[in-house]
């Protein structure tokens, strides 16, 4: 899943494009670290949730979003809708 969470989020087109780019770029960097399908799905869903949480919190800078999402997904932290 993962990416469909972002593709169906309620944001304007420019923001959706940026969120999709953040997801794709971060996933490309970390995809090789996971081999079991269940782990891949978990990490993709976690990444999407983190990116959406950052966006819900007002983050719109692509580089900051990517850096923060990378750190959070590898630490196993999830953001809720309020960005915390």
* Domain membership flag for residue 58: yes
* Domain membership flag for residue 52: yes
Does residue 44 contact residue 3 with C-beta atoms inside 8 Å?
Answer: yes
Question: What pLDDT sits at residue 75?
Answer: 82
How many domains are there within the chain? 1
* Domain membership flag for residue 29: yes
* Domain membership flag for residue 32: yes
DSSP 12: -
* Domain membership flag for residue 20: yes
* Domain membership flag for residue 81: no
* Domain membership flag for residue 14: yes
Whether pLDDT at 76 is above 80 = no
* Domain membership flag for residue 38: yes
The parent domain of residue 42 ranges over 3-75
Tell me the pTM: 0.83
Residues ≥6 apart with Cβ < 8 Å to 72: 50, 78, 79
Condensed to tens digits (0 to 9), the pLDDT of residues 4-29 reads 889 888 999 999 999 999 999 999 99
């Amino acid at each position: 899943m993962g990416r469909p969470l972002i593709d169906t989020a309620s944001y304007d087109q420019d923001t959706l494009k940026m969120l999709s780019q953040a997801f794709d770029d971060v996933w490309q960097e970390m995809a090789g670290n996971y081999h079991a399908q269940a782990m891949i799905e978990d990490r993709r869903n976690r990444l999407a949730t983190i990116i959406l949480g950052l966006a819900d919190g007002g983050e719109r800078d692509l580089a900051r979003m990517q850096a923060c999402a990378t750190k959070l997904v590898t630490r196993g932290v999830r953001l809720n809708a309020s960005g915390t």
